[in-house]
Structure 1
Amino acid sequence: MTRRDLEGPGDLRAAQAMSSRLWSPVSRFHPGQLAWNLATSVDRPPVSLWRDGEQAVALGWAESPDWLELQVDPDHPELADDVVEWFEDTSDAETQSALVMERDVSEPALAAAGFAPDLDAPWFTHHLLDLGGPGSLPTPPEVDGYRLRPVDLSRPGELERRAAVHADAWSSVGPSSVDAHAYDRVTSTWPYRSELDWVATTDDGELVASCLVWLDEAAADGAGVGLVEPVGCVPSHRGRGLATAVTLGALRRLRDLGARWAQVSPRGDPGHPGPQRLYRAMGFAPTARTVTWTRSLE
């Protein structure tokens, strides 16, 4: 068993291969999530990968000094202790948290290291949509004054506008790290496809809503799983159903490409109920939730 820090695209692909191989309705990561988070990071956080031969079997991601993301192959549960120890060496925070799926294989290692579930923390819920089911996808609603289309990176200024609509849509959360340079990294990172990157525009061409879907054709034993991440609508155009419309447009293209499943992971706690209501109205059903584990070193 070997460990090395993430250094380049080859290491990212190894981590993505692990998340694809381990994907299930209750697993932590989809390859698209790793792609989006790393491509849009201002400063690449410490990330380390454990391998058994050439195969990645554990991932530790110190998203910040006080926050650990991890995934451990259930066939190698002992590596959870190594990931937690690596985080201890990486972090100097007095309070530390880790986000895992409920009943994750890493829970015993977290408990042994002094972490405990924080039942008051926000949590996320995986939702799945069976794209092969009868009537699984409604037609995107027509919204007067708006059009839906995939991103066309050959258009002058398209990259800048695509980055801007995301940043504006998420401005209420805080300043966005996604600018044209970051979005250029997004479009260069597997498994990005522009045909699954959809926008809603006004009649005069202004981009006002967006939805990006990441297709992993190998997940679910080759059935194909598309991750919806992220979706947004600029504040001045909300309340018209544009987030729903642009998401359905992208999902219909995902289905046309042969994917069987779509996944999205909105907040599940009562503090932010809107997104999960939107996705459930499209037919997504909840499957599994995350749990935040926290410890204080004071």
Structure 2
Amino acid sequence: MTRRDFSGPGDLRAMQDLCSRTWSPASRFHPGQLAWSRYYRPVDPVVLEDGEAIGLWTEEGRVVGFGWAEAPDWLELQVDPARPEVAAEVLEWFEEWSDAEEQSVLAVEGDAPVEGALAEAGFSARLDLPYFTHHLLDLDSLRPVPDLPGYAFRPVRPHEAAARADVHVRAWSDIAPSQVDAASYGRLMQAWPYRADLDWVAVDAAGAMVASALVWLDPGTGVGLVEPVGCTPEHRGRGLAGAVTLAALHALRQAGARLAQVTPRGDEAYPGPRRLYRGLGFEPTARVLTWTRSIA
């Protein structure tokens, strides 16, 4: 087993392969989440940003674990359940690379190899911090798309990167400034496993995009990830976010998927998305908790 540093899109694809072949309802990542996390903002596809690092552990040509330090104080990781010892190596690598005195890691509750390595490295699960909850929906029980007068639902067209980016920005910028732009969305549309037929928007009577839902289908597992969903402020309260998500999920089922996954906040400080998805039939499964440690 060897470790190497991230060197471009081929390594992202290898990380996604790990996520696909080991996916379960308790997995940290779906391949689509990695694509979104890498390309939602303008980036060099080969070179990581300052203050960011990715390490990959490989065995016989396949990735068996990775650590993604999105910042010196924040790590994401996933390891092959068949190679649980890699989790400790990822944390050792992160400690050597990071100079942050306070560090955080997200881990799925019940992921014994990762939780054990975190505890051994001095991290503690923080039940007092916001957390996320994986939710699953059997697409055989998918509800119909409601009729909302004055609106229509359709997939994005390949030439619409700028308009698609704009509706995302308008939906999210009242929460925090969005880094999505036309260039980054165009690159995202070229990334595996993006499919334009699973990227849906709601349009108003004038044809303007006012809500959106992006779904990522992993053909290896037949599981689609909903990430992200948004509605522009002036059109909220009319059921558009749920309706456009259902439209995208119907397209997902037609594409051959069997399950859909989404991971909204699970704590009571931000209940809106959780209520939306449970209202569509999603059922909660595993929680994703923040673990922290201090290095003085």
Contact 2:41 2:179 in 1 (8 A): yes
How many Å apart are 1:215 and its aligned residue? Answer: 0.3
Secondary structure class of the residue paired with 2:145 = coil
Q: Look up the match of 2:184.
A: 182
Name the structure 2 match of 1:15: 15
Q: Which residue of 1 aligns with 2:36?
A: 36
CA distance in 1, matches of 2:90, 2:275: 35
CA distance in 2, matches of 1:119, 1:245: 33
Instruction: Give yes or no for contact 2:153–2:200 (8 Å, CA) kept in 1.
Output: yes
C-alpha deviation, 1:9, in angstroms:
1.6
Q: 4+ residue runs of structure 1 moved beyond 2 angstroms? A: 41-45
Q: Matches of 2:242 and 2:215 in 1, distance apart?
A: 14
Cα pair 2:42 2:181 within 8 Å, conserved: no
Q: For residue 107 of structure 1, what is the aligned residue in structure 2?
A: 115
Other structure's SS at 1:213 match? strand
When structure 1 is superposed on structure 2, of 100-109 and 235-244 the one drifting more is 100-109
Matched position secondary structure for 2:81: coil
Question: Which whole-Å deviations, capped at 9, do the CAs of 1:36-59 have from their partners, x for residues lacking one?
Answer: 000124553311111111111101
Contact 2:27–2:108, Cα closer than 8 Å, also in 1? yes
Kindly indicate whether residue 167 of structure 2 is the aligned counterpart of residue 169 of structure 1: no
Corresponding residue of 1:142: 147
Q: Secondary structure at the match of 2:146?
A: coil
> Could you say which residue in structure 2 is the equivalent of 1:152?
157
Corresponding position of 2:260: 262
Q: Please give the TM-score of this superposition, normalised by the length of structure 1.
A: 0.94
Q: Deviations over 1:122-163 (max 9, x none)?
A: 11111000112xxx1222111121111000123xxx211100
TM-score normalised by the chain length of structure 2: 0.95
Match of residue 79 from structure 2 = 72
Secondary structure, counterpart of 1:18 in structure 2: helix
Give the match for residue 103 of structure 2: 96
| Aligned 8 A contact 2:225 2:260 in 1 | yes
In the alignment, residue 277 of structure 1 is paired with which amino acid? R
Q: Deviations over 1:221-271 (max 9, x none)?
A: xxx000000000011110000001100000000001110000000000111
The one-letter code sitting in structure 1 at the alignment partner of 2:31 is P
Unaligned runs of 5+ in 1: none
Q: Distance in 1 between matches of 2:25 and 2:118?
A: 22
Unmatched 5+ residue regions in structure 2?
A: none
Distance 1:58 1:212 in 2: 27
Give 1:289's match in structure 2, choosing from 261, 274, 287: 287
Aligned partner of 1:131 among 130, 139, 155: 139
Indicate the percent of aligned positions where both proteins have the same amino acid. 61
* 2:155 and 2:197 in contact (8 A); partners too: yes
**Counterpart of 1:201?**
203
Range with bigger deviation, 84-93 or 189-198: 84-93
Aligned length: 288
Deviating more after overlay: 182-191 vs 88-97: 88-97
Partner of 2:233: 235
1:260-293: per-residue Cα shift (whole Å, max 9, x none)?
0000000001111111111111111011011111
Take 1:89 and 1:233, find their aligned partners in 2: how far apart are those partners? 42
Distance 1:87 1:184 in 2: 31
